Amino acid sequence: MRKFLILPVLLLSIFLLNGKTVEIARDNIHLREGPGCFHPVALVLNKGARAQVLQENDQWLKIQYNDQTGWISHTAFEPVQQEEPLFTSPFEESEDETVSSASVSAAVRGFARKYINPTGEDISFLDNYDKMIITVPEYQQFKRETFHNRNYHKIETRYRRWNRFKSKDDFHITNYLEKTGLAVSAQIAQQSLINDQKKLKYLNNVGTLINEHSELYYYPAKFFIVKDKRPAAYATPIGMIFITDGLLDFVENEAELACLLGHEISHVVHKHGYREIKARKPRIEAQNAFAELEEEIPGEDTTAAQLSKLANQMYEAATAKRQMKYEYQADKCGAVYAYRAGYDPQALINLLARIKNNSEMDYENFESNWESFYIKDRIEKLENFIDQELDRRKNLSVINQYRFQKNMR
């Protein structure tokens, strides 16, 4: 019985914060100019900073820190689940309780550039990583158009089992994760980004709306298009998400796009990429050992190379099932995020079926879980989930094919 009292007690404690002085419980808390991840960052607060609560709503609190006012999420007061970094931290953590957003931006850019190998492609997006591709007025107008003559609050609460289903993990993005995540993003971006502002604004409007209905509502996901005809997508640990134009070619309407972006946001929320790197750490260490062994074997002896190849094959076979579990979870979460934002979750099944029926396995690049080979089981599991969990009888879902075609074709 006790576990059912946790949520009401937590909510009561939050609502009693109004007018009181509170202490930030974790680092890298973004003080924003408005209640939403799409508002600019005014300041970055760290653990120990004390502020006065001026106003609050379901997810955000307006506070005053010294002479600065702004909005922070309720997650700022949740204790951090301590977790050791995968590798030795490549930078010193700040002990200051507050940092300017400009200094954080400079530090992250500098770190990322140290850990990439430039290939001549444009990675100028690093210079503006902490700025939104869309403006606040643009997004607010997009949101008004999306929910025109529809009850927004009724839509976002229509999945009654949300608290049971959502992630229980600590998905807070620390300074360490932010810097290393941007370095990963820079590596992906070097494949060649498409700089079509009309498409990017639309993509990020849809993505921001979906992100607001995920556990990561307080941290802005950003979406980019990679020039690559293979159907693939990459979700980095800091919510920078890269979709190939080959995958976008399969999308036919806004509901499908919303589900696709929700799928990728789920990978961020559940830290699938981070967990996979953590699981592969022994392999990385083993590869270093094989490299040392190969150096010690003279002449044309290929023993070390053969051992390394065998180990890799065995490892990939052992991790395939784990990677598909990530996809099953991301499909379900992506459908729920889109559903809570007002879209038809069936759209994800339609998209998966279209990819399955119209794409071929690229055996030279056997890497994308959006390839046809992987999709059959995903469709079956997602169909069962939607039938059992989501009520599609109410006329609250949108497809928005016209707006999608207008902006993405």
User: What whole-number distance in Å separates Cα of residue 280 and Cα of residue 273?
Assistant: 11
- In this structure, the chain runs to a length of 409
Cα dihedral 347/331/200/217 (nearest 10): 110
Extract the tokens encoding 249.
């070619």
Residue 331 CB coordination number (10 Å) = 26
Q: What is the pLDDT of residue 108?
A: 47
The Cα–Cα gap between 161 and 392 comes to: 15
- With beta carbons less than 8 A apart as the criterion, state whether 48 and 90 touch: no
Exposed (0-12), middle (13-18) or buried (19+): which is 207, by Cβ within 10 Å? buried
Query: What one-character DSSP code corresponds to residue 323?
Result: H
166: part of which helix (H) or strand (E)?
none
User: In terms of Cα–Cα distance, which of 256, 143, 267 is closest to 205?
Assistant: 143
Burial of 373 (0-12, 13-18, 19+ CB in 10 A): middle
More confident residue, 318 or 409: 409
Q: What is the pLDDT of residues 29-85, one digit of tens each?
A: 999 999 999 999 888 898 999 999 999 888 899 999 999 999 999 989 887 766 555
Res 3: pLDDT: 42
SS3 (DSSP) at 243? strand
Residue pLDDT, tens place only, 10-40: 444 444 566 789 999 988 899 999 999 999 9
C-alpha–C-alpha distance, residues 69 and 71, integer Å? 7
CA–CA separation, 357 vs 360, rounded Å?
A: 9
Full DSSP string of 74-129: GGGGSPP-----SS--SSPPP--SEE-HHHHHHHHHHHHHHT----S---GGGGGT
Which tens digit of pLDDT belongs to each residue from 117-143?
Answer: 445 555 565 556 667 789 999 999 999
pLDDT one-digit tens code per residue, 253-307? 999 999 999 999 998 898 877 676 666 655 555 555 545 545 555 544 555 555 5
